[in-house]
Amino acid sequence: MSERARVEWPTLGLVLVVYVIWGAALVWLPVWLAVPVLALAIALHSSLCHEVLHGHPTRNPWFNAALVFPALGLCVPYLRFKDTHLDHHQDSRLTDPYDDPESNYLDPAVWRALPHWRKLLHRVNNTLAGRLTLGPLMGQIAFMAADWRLIRAGDRRALWGWVAHIPAMALVLVLVALSPLPLWAYFIAVYAAMAILRIRTFLEHQAHEKARGRTVIIEDRGPLAFLFLNNNLHVVHHIHPRVPWYGLPRLYRQNRDRYLRQNEDYRYRSYAEIFRRYFLSAKDPVPHPLYEDWTAR
């Protein structure tokens, strides 16, 4: 790799663009327009955090982390996102209710023990409409509860992740408080951004006997694909996590048949297709359909 390639300039440029848009929305846009613009900027910032934790856009991890230090989305500490997401990249454990920290499935035994009202919430959350409305809140509660259990058990890394998050979050809140935008409007934008990100994670992975068949390809080239930095080509990212976001489409075009064989043709044409099929319908059951078979072996 050449010296020039050691710095991924498209990613650096996009980081700058996101902060410019974010600041302009805070200062110059009316509330009704600032909220959706901020939601999009925060969602894109989250996608850039994902790039950074995979070692982009430079070889220096401290510099990379500094690029996304301001916690625009407020809710998820970068260091915790990094740790849990890298754990998630253990493909042999994908979708496991315990070993995959990003799994949307529950242990069937846990599911059977839930009260009726919680089962109803999970069933609603398992539709795309539910994921957009209830998903951000339910996901945040589950994420924080899991980390609280780790901290109480003495996990200093989890504790440090949240401690380091305090100044990153405080910086953003101070800037918002000093801007013309009301804090309540910013909180709405944060929730909307988290909802947008749930579109990406809604069916990224499925329960499948073979690990290679658990990761999706969504052949979308529209605005959501850009907002998610081509993570719709998710199996390509899992196989090549060190490839920057702008390199994934070319890899997929050059090797489409191989990737679809690799993931057992777990594929959708577009996000529009996903909305049509699953907006009010669940794609998967809440309890993991294979987990009891796995544990019985």
The pLDDT tens digits for 173-232 are 999 999 999 999 999 999 999 999 999 999 999 999 999 999 999 999 999 999 999 999
Partners of 106 in the β-ladder:
287
Mean pLDDT score, 261-280: 97
- Does 71 have pLDDT greater than 80? yes
Residue 215 structure tokens: 């990761």
pTM (predicted TM-score):
0.95
Give the range of the structural domain holding residue 290, as residue numbers without chain letter. 4-296
Which of the two residues, 3 and 110, has the higher pLDDT score? 110
CA-CA distances (angstroms) from residue 245 to 57, 167, 233, 238?
Answer: 10, 28, 10, 12
Mean pLDDT across the stretch 71-89?
96
The structure tokens listed for 245 are 């976001």
Phi, psi of 200 (to 5 degrees): -65, -45
C-beta separation of 193 from 40 below 8 A = yes
Mean pLDDT of 79-91: 93
Q: What residue type is 123 in one-letter code?
A: R
For the chain, the maximum distance between any two Cα atoms, rounded to a whole number of angstroms, is 60
Residues in the chain: 297
Please state the φ and ψ torsions of residue 238, each to the nearest 5 degrees.
-65, -35
Residue 5 is predicted with a pLDDT of 55
Query: Taking residues 49-68, what's their average pLDDT?
Result: 96
Q: Going by DSSP bridges, is the β-strand pair 217-218/267-268 parallel, antiparallel, or unpaired?
A: parallel
Torsion of CA 109, 111, 114, 117, to 10 degrees: -170
What band does 297 get if pLDDT is binned at 50, 70 and 90?
A: low
Least confidently predicted of 43-47, 89-93, 206-210: 89-93
**Reduced DSSP (H G I as helix, E B as strand, rest coil) percent helix, strand, coil of the chain, to 5:** 65, 5, 30
Domain count, the chain: 1
Of the chain, the end-to-end C-alpha distance in Å amounts to 45
Q: What percent of the chain has pLDDT over 70?
A: 98
Average pLDDT of the residues of the chain = 95
User: pLDDT, tens digit, for every residue of 231-243?
Assistant: 999 999 999 999 9
Burial class of residue 73 in the structure, from the number of CB atoms within 10 Å of its CB (0-12 exposed, 13-18 middle, 19+ buried): buried
